[in-house]
Amino acid sequence: MKYRPSASGEFTTSKMSAAVPFLVSYGSGSDSDSENETESNTSVEKVDSDAMAHLKPLQSGQTMSLAVLNSAPEVAVKEAVESGTHLDPSLKEVAYNPTYETMFAPEFGPMNPFKTQQMAAPRNMLSGYVEPAHVNDFMFEQQRRTFSTYGYALDPSVDTHQAFSNSYIGAVDEAEKNKGLTVFESGHKKSEKRKKVKGGDAGEIDTFLGPWAKYVDEKDVAKPSEEEQKELDEITAKRQKKGRNEDEAPAEEKTILHVKDMYDYQGRSYLHVPQDVGINLRSADSPDKCYLPKKQIHIWSGHTKGVSAIRLFPCSGHLLLSSSMDCKIKLWEVYGERRCIRTFIGHSKAVRDICFNNSGTQFLSAAYDRYLKLWDSETGQCISRFTNRKVPYCVKFNPDEDKQSLFVAGMSDKKIVQWDIRTGEVVQEYDRHLGAVNTITFVDENRRFVSTSDDKSLRVWEWDIPVDFKYIAEPSMHSMPAVTLSPNGKWLACQSMDNQILIFGAQNRFRLNKKKVFKGHMVAGYACQVDFSPDMSYVVSGDADGKLNIWDWKTTKLYHRIKAHDKVCISALWHPHETSKVITCGWDGQIKLWD
């Protein structure tokens, strides 16, 4: 935009007066000379005089003073720090009394106007400024709890010798009302002694109360009226009678045979191992290579409540014994038609555990009715009953051929009790555990047995010696309610309640094998039975979700997981003579065969 001075000479007379038309014409946006002159004249007349006041020259008669404003606050620079106007942030000691503004001035740069007071406050940790204070643990805890309960506490900023005056923070009115009472102090001050009822004259034996006199403010214990007392007596008498009946009278035993003929044309019973199914009764030293089971091939159903335990017939595994919470025990075929052969009825409460003897001709059952019963597998007759008025949690025959008349049971009263089935008497008690005994497992060619308990320990015992020679308990250990010995007899697989399977050596030192820990399943709260494949290549276990989990023994990786049951899958057995057959049972009342 061009500007040419007018011919009247306005530009040369005064710089200030010339600036007015200059600025006006500059704002007009016109290029021609004539337009400039005409527009400048008209616009000067239109513009308000107040708006142009600051452009006019100052009159000599009027004086005006202007305050100098510095919009940027002072910044701590080197000269200011050296002169003492600002504090050096690296200083540890100050030899003079600085002002508040000096102490809390920003280190460098202007103060951030967007910071709140809390954000701008000095901080030496994330949540604020912490000062060291000498308060012992008890005093701190007392004041913290008092503040959380009553809403007041002693002011920590006041010195200790002054703190016991009326210096409180929080609900000060409440503090004055309670006279500074803390949560650790009762309402009665030491000076205020409770008054007792006068005890009378010491000479009068009948009326003298002495130190046994009641306090004045002590209330009498409420006693039931005669009618209420009568009702209570009746209830307690019924309970005692019921308890005696339960203890004294065991349930009546009976059995049901479900197959048409108990014996075949040669007079052999169902206990005889079938020859036509190709069961390979080879030695356990050379088992065939095992494979993962893929699908369900059979369901044994017949129990009306959850199945608690399953056991295969010794050696051959051609029969399956199951115990249930419906108080019944059933015997099933594993091969052929897979029928239910016999039902054993004789417990009045849920059956907890079962165990065959070496030949399979007899088995023991342990139930919550506090009875252990010995049954004949072939005829279904109950041979004998054992009880010590406690609940048996597990039962095991001694596997030695010459000790088949002896068995041990882990009881709810922390003891392991040993019975002789010939006499029906207790011959030994192993009383060292501090909780109910959950499992008993024979190791080391049956010379020893391992027991686990609710006390979260593992104890190893010599047979017939009631003192444990090995005690394993670590602070990190949980209870292990299911234990299985490996087919080669070298390892114990223990289902731990922290959702992992731990492996202990089973030969000499019973050390925990830290390299072999099997995880990935949920079992907390359930005694899910663990098992090995015959060739020791896999470990199987059920879990709380009803799944069957299969791990690789060498790498401890979770290989396979199958949804086996609707409720808890409490047990999984790998058939000892089959390469890929696994039997599972669950709390849905079903027993399933997988291949």
Per-residue pLDDT tens over the stretch 240-267: 876 665 555 688 899 999 998 888 888 8
Kindly indicate the confidence band of residue 550, based on its pLDDT and cuts at 50, 70 and 90. Answer: very high
pLDDT, tens digit, 9 for 90 and up, residues 73-103: 555 566 677 766 777 777 788 888 888 777 7
Q: For all residues of the chain together, what is the average pLDDT?
A: 83
**Higher-confidence residue: 395 or 283?**
395
C-alpha to C-alpha distance for 257 and 186, rounded to whole angstroms: 72
> What is the model's pLDDT at position 15?
42
Kindly indicate the confidence band of residue 325, based on its pLDDT and cuts at 50, 70 and 90. Answer: very high
Residue from 586, 547, 52, 54 nearest 306 by CA:
586
C-alpha to C-alpha distance for 20 and 17, rounded to whole angstroms: 6
> What is the model's pLDDT at position 324?
96
* Burial of 558: CB neighbours in 10 Å, binned 0-12, 13-18, 19+: middle
Kindly indicate the confidence band of residue 43, based on its pLDDT and cuts at 50, 70 and 90. Answer: very low
CA 275, distance to chain mean position in Å, is 52
The DSSP annotation for 72-133 comes to SPP---HHHHHHTSS--TT-S--SS---HHHHTS-SSS---TT--HHHHS--SBTTB-----
Q: Which of 64-68, 141-145, 181-185, 353-357 has the highest mean pLDDT?
A: 353-357
Mean pLDDT for 7-11 is 45
Mean pLDDT for 303-319 is 94
**Do the strands 458-462 and 448-453 form a parallel or antiparallel pair, or are they unpaired?**
antiparallel
> What is the model's pLDDT at position 436?
96
Query: What residues does 531 pair with on adjacent strands?
Result: 540
Q: Which domains occur in the chain, in start order?
A: 139-155+166-197 (no CATH), 286-594 (2.130.10.10)
> What is the model's pLDDT at position 224?
84
C-alpha to C-alpha distance for 382 and 97, rounded to whole angstroms: 99
C-alpha to C-alpha distance for 253 and 375, rounded to whole angstroms: 10
| 475-494 per-residue burial string, b: 16 or more CB within 10 A, e: under 16 | eebbbbbbbbbbbeeebbbb
> What is the model's pLDDT at position 244?
61
Mean pLDDT for 50-64 is 60
> What is the model's pLDDT at position 88?
76
Q: What pTM, to 2 d.p., does this model score?
A: 0.62
pLDDT, tens digit, 9 for 90 and up, residues 554-582: 999 999 999 999 999 999 999 999 999 99
Residues in CB range of 89: below 8 A, 6 or more apart: 107
C-alpha to C-alpha distance for 355 and 371, rounded to whole angstroms: 14
Lowest mean pLDDT across 171-175, 278-282, 363-367: 278-282
**Higher-confidence residue: 461 or 107?**
461
